[in-house]
């Protein structure tokens, strides 16, 4: 994937920011009726329970927090939180971003780095947007940002997400998404197998436990292995 394609992905999410919460909270075009909605909400709760059961320590990094759907569950559990997102428009709608104990950084996540080390790294609905050729490097970054013994959590879509009404097509590593005003953009969308994720994490020094809900989500918890003395 080229830098231009990554830039198109960032631009898409900036444009989608005002309607992003339709998916998670308001549902809107994603509303499929009481029975399906209830199943979706139960599976979301299963993934959330994995996050809330994890010791995040006191200093956390959230990668691609967007409008804060999961940030609101991370922030109350840590003393300090750093949010790194490629879209200022997304961060502007994140209800946690303005807190005094929260620092925000607008940056291309594939280019961003820091010498800081954190107790935990969280990324939600992001790993599927990582190109396959950058997956190893991304997990190497996560390991580098974590203190030894630090924790990882992520959640993302299961492949059923490719059938949603705002998806105009898929090809290889890409998905064409349609905004409510009819504009379309091509983004990276990979539905990684658990063994692919575990292998990339393991190579970086992270032990990763990858799980799936019955239909809608894939999620994982992990720990940065302690470095030898």
Residue 194 is predicted with a pLDDT of 98
pLDDT for 18 beyond 90: no
Residue 38 has pLDDT above 70, yes or no: yes
Average pLDDT in the chain: 93
Are 155 and 124 in contact by the 8 Å Cβ rule? The answer is yes
Of 73, 20, 26, the residue nearest 45 (C-alpha): 73
For residue 228, pLDDT over 60 is answered with no
| The three-state (H, E, C) secondary structure of 135-189, written as one string | HHHHHHHHHHHEEEEEEEEEEEECHHHHHCCCEEEEECCEEEEECCCCCEEEEEC
- Predicted confidence at residue 23, as pLDDT, reads 66
- Residue identified by tokens 């994603």 is 30
CA 220 and chain centroid, separation:
11
Backbone torsions φ then ψ of 19, nearest 5 degrees = -110, 0
Choice among 51-60, 75-84, 96-105, 177-186 with the minimum mean pLDDT: 177-186
First to last CA, the chain: 39
% of the chain beyond a pLDDT of 70: 95
pLDDT tens digit string along 125-171?
999 999 999 999 999 999 999 999 999 999 999 999 998 888 989 99
**Average pLDDT, stretch 6-12?**
88
Yes or no: say if 67 and 94 are a contact pair by the CB < 8 Å rule. yes
44: Cα within 13 Å, side-chain hemisphere = 14
Mean pLDDT in residue range 89-94: 95
């Amino acid at each position: 994937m080229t830098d231009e394609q990554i830039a198109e992905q960032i631009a898409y999410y900036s444009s989608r920011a005002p309607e992003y919460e339709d998916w998670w909270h308001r549902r809107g075009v994603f509303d499929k009726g009481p029975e399906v909605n209830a199943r979706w909400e139960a599976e979301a709760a299963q993934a959330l329970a994995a996050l809330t059961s994890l010791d995040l320590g006191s200093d956390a990094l959230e990668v691609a927090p967007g409008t804060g759907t999961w940030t609101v569950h991370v922030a109350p559990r840590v003393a300090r939180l750093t949010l790194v997102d490629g879209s200022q428009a997304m961060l502007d709608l994140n209800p946690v971003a303005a807190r005094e104990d929260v620092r925000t950084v607008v940056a291309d996540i594939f280019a961003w780095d820091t010498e800081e080390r954190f107790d935990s790294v969280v990324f939600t609905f992001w790993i599927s947007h990582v190109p396959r050729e950058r997956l190893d490097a991304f997990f190497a970054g996560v390991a580098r940002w974590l203190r030894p013994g630090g924790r990882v959590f992520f959640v993302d879509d299961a492949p059923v997400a490719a059938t949603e009404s705002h998806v105009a097509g898929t090809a290889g590593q890409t998905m064409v998404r349609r905004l409510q005003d009819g504009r379309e953009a091509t983004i990276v969308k990979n539905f990684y197998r658990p063994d692919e994720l575990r292998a990339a994490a393991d190579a970086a020094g992270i032990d990763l436990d990858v799980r799936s809900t019955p239909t809608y989500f894939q999620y994982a918890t992990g720990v940065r292995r302690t470095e030898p003395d």
